[in-house]
Structure 1
Amino acid sequence: MRCLLCNMPLYLATHGVCSQCIKNLPQQNKVCHQCSLPHSLTTERCYRCIEHKPNWDMLISTSEYINPLKKLIHKLKFYRKAELALALARLMFLAWYKRRLSEGIIIPDLVTCVPLHHVRYWSRGFNQAELLAKPIAKWINRDFVPYLLVRRQRAIDQKTLSLKDRVKNVETLYLCRQNLSNKSVLLIDDIVTTGNTINAISQQLKKCGATYIQVICLCRTVL
């Protein structure tokens, strides 16, 4: 097995990406601890999150939505390269573990993922967020609950909508029916763009009693 990025032999084949390439991934400068977008304040949270607090509590991203991870995500999602998921999940876990070592962030009680509509699931053959979430749950020794959330109907593709319409498009899209009283949740997605989807999901999770919501994504789009 060779590194997915530099094609050099790997000491452990399951890693997928060598340690040198991990070091050379595009580094994020100072980012908000809640939304993972760049900011210049001396506080942990940016002015956006201070003025309009999201429903989730922390977001950790591995990289901005740029190459080389952008290219790997495209291969995973659109070329059905499901074998890439384990290596990408490891990068997400390492980003989370780095924050745990430096800041002592909690280990959530359970892990879930952003669901796909069943039509898209059938056409693609898998939910990429589910493939990423399952090994992460195993590595942090927590239960993985892939069907915690129900997607009510198929939404219009977010990429075709304005920012205002994107919010409306997801407000009533997700539903959680499980009692999450006094539970903390780790929510997994591959890409976070506007944050509207994870915000709507986090609202549902907190309505069901979740006390704290961490989000891990592979890439965070800088708007």
Structure 2
Amino acid sequence: MRCFLCNMPLYLAHHGICYQCSKNIPKLNKVCPQCSLPHSLSTQICYRCLENKPHWDTLIATSDYINPLKKLIQQLKFYHKTELTLALARLMFLTWYKKRLANEIIKPDLVTCVPLHHIRYWSRGFNQAELLAKVIAKWLNCDFYPHLLYRHQRAIDQKKLSLKERKQNVETLYECRKNLSQKSVMLIDDIVTTGNTINAVSQQLKKCGAINIQVICLCRTVL
């Protein structure tokens, strides 16, 4: 087994990405702990979250949506290279674990993921967020609920919309039908761009009683 990025032999084959390549993945520096976007205020929380507080509590991202992770995500999603799942999930878990060791985050009670519409699921054959979440839930020894959220009618492709239209497009798209009273939830997605999708999902989770929502993603697009 060789590293997916540099093609060098791996000491531990199941890691998928060697130590040096993992170390060299671009990191997000000086980011808001709530939205994971860069900011330069003296306060810990950025002005965006202070003015318009999101429904989730913490967002942790491994990197910006740039290479090499951008290329690996595209290979997973569009070229069905599901063998990348373990390596990508490991990067997400290690990013989360650093926060955990610093006592900046709690261990969740359960893990879930952002759902795909069933038509896209059938065409792709899998939900990449679900694949990542399943692995992370196993490592955390947490309950995994891949179908905790129900997705209504198919939304217009977010990439074709303005920022305002994207927000309106997802506001009523998701529904949670489980009692989450006093539960802390880890919500997994591969990429977070505007945050509108995870905010709509988090709103539903909070309505069902969730007391803490931590969003873990591989890439956070810096707008």
Shared fold (TM-score greater than 0.5)? yes
Question: Superposition pairs for residues 78-117 of structure 1, below 5 Å?
Answer: 78-117=78-117
Counterpart in the other structure of 1:58: 58
Measure, in 2, the Cα distance between the counterparts of 1:4 and 1:183.
37
Counterpart in the other structure of 1:46: 46
Measure, in 2, the Cα distance between the counterparts of 1:32 and 1:26.
17
Measure, in 2, the Cα distance between the counterparts of 1:105 and 1:43.
19
The aligned amino acid for 1:138 is K
Which consecutive unaligned segments of at least 5 residues does structure 2 have? none
Measure, in 2, the Cα distance between the counterparts of 1:20 and 1:49.
34
Measure, in 2, the Cα distance between the counterparts of 1:41 and 1:108.
29
The aligned amino acid for 2:39 is H
* Structure 2 SS opposite 1:45: coil
Q: Post-superposition shift, 1:103?
A: 3.0
Name the Cα RMSD after superposition: 0.7
Q: Post-superposition shift, 1:42?
A: 2.3
Moved over 2 A (4+): none
- For residues 40-72 of structure 1, the C-alpha deviation after alignment (integer angstroms, 9 at most, x for no partner) is 112221110011000000000000000000000
Identity fraction in percent = 78
Measure, in 2, the Cα distance between the counterparts of 1:98 and 1:30.
15
* Structure 2 SS opposite 1:115: coil
Measure, in 2, the Cα distance between the counterparts of 1:28 and 1:207.
31
Q: Post-superposition shift, 1:29?
A: 1.2
Counterpart in the other structure of 1:160: 160
TM-score (normalizing by structure 1): 0.99
Counterpart in the other structure of 1:151: 151
TM-score (normalizing by structure 2): 0.99
- For residues 76-96 of structure 1, the C-alpha deviation after alignment (integer angstroms, 9 at most, x for no partner) is 001111111111000000000
The aligned amino acid for 1:12 is L
Counterpart in the other structure of 2:27: 27
* Structure 2 SS opposite 1:33: coil
The aligned amino acid for 2:217 is C
Which consecutive unaligned segments of at least 5 residues does structure 1 have? none
